[in-house]
Structure 1
């Protein structure tokens, strides 16, 4: 399985994930370099960097104009579309409009995108069966479009429940066993896992 780790400027500590390619999103490239991790490339408009900082980025750079239709994160994700999994670190903190944009990219364009930070993880679940461990305290499921969901090993179990797109009662579930089983029988769901209180 191939994976890419995209690091945005909002990341404080770059996580070490073995066997993945590291890609810097704009000034996030310096975060990778400062931790002496291998960096495959950097992408963005680099509008927040001065020339001295830009010279520190010695990997291949794909530079884009400041005035553009895509966010820097979207440009980086597009470059990684052939990876099995794309981890975007720092994509769900900071400005709410960028957070919404990144969630929408996962929901509608890049199903292999996982948004993650120190306390939270957001991923898309298509039809199939998934095992979830107790790494995160709170687990929520939101239908991207109407679907059927089963949950076992959870505080609030479900058995082949049809969830309409406007419903939010699947917010803030938790595991009562070491592992939970999620079965998506129809549709596609956003899975949000969090350790915030």
Structure 2
């Protein structure tokens, strides 16, 4: 099975639907992301990090194989975990706790998501309530329900088009804009990214 949920350090709303979704995924955690495994009540295949943000009590009560990283390193524990998933042959990755909380970490996680997407890996970020999808160049279809709210963000710039929404968009170059915020799906939406990168945000 090459479908992974990577537990990162950002906020996560644990719901029954999320627990159900994770049953078919392999769970790995980065440092403080281990606390989400405890909240989910699901076993970890691997707990990786330098453990500078995981309190001793959590390390004592959470049973999981550990891979300890040095504190002086040139990448975050989250990036190390993403690269571990790649080594394990990931074909689909759900980044739990990947958005929300610290802005610097959210932006870094989005960059990591593009690293995966550009390798052909299906990837999604979530805080348990909202969801984000990296959109590299190409045609993307999302089977949204009518009335679903979404925003499209150039990251940092993109030429893109949107169909199937309350406010469709012809092919348009975008940069630092609010034009594509707070749209509504009429059903499945189709996004074409002709140049650059964009992020689909569902809320």
TM-score bracket for the superposition, by shorter chain length: 0.7 to 0.9
> Aligned pair count?
191
The residue aligned with 2:50 is 45
TM-score, normalised on structure 2? 0.78
The residue aligned with 1:155 is 166
**Pairwise CA RMSD:** 2.6
Q: How does 1:5-154 map to 2 (within 5 A)?
A: 5-9=5-9, 10-13=11-14, 15-16=18-19, 17=21, 18-33=23-38, 35-81=40-86, 82-107=89-114, 109-111=115-117, 112=121, 113-126=123-136, 127-134=138-145, 137-144=148-155, 147-154=158-165
3-state DSSP of counterpart to 1:53 = helix
Greater share of helix: 2
Decide whether the 8 Å contact of 1:120 with 1:192 is kept in 2: yes
Does 2:197 align with 1:181?
no
3-state DSSP of counterpart to 1:152 = strand
Runs of 4+ in 1 over 4 A off after TM superposition: none
Decide whether the 8 Å contact of 1:11 with 1:28 is kept in 2: no
The residue aligned with 1:172 is 182
Residue 22 (structure 1) shift? 0.7
In the alignment, structure 1 segments of 5+ residues that lack a partner are none
1:40-88 per-position Cα deviation (integer Å, ceiling 9, x unaligned): 1111111233445324343321111233322221121111123122211
The residue aligned with 2:2 is 2
Q: Give me the whole-angstrom Cα distance separating, in 2, the residues matched to 1:121 and 1:98.
A: 16
Q: Give me the whole-angstrom Cα distance separating, in 1, the residues matched to 2:147 and 2:43.
A: 29
1:132-156 per-position Cα deviation (integer Å, ceiling 9, x unaligned): 3038843122233654423222111
Q: Give me the whole-angstrom Cα distance separating, in 2, the residues matched to 1:187 and 1:99.
A: 19
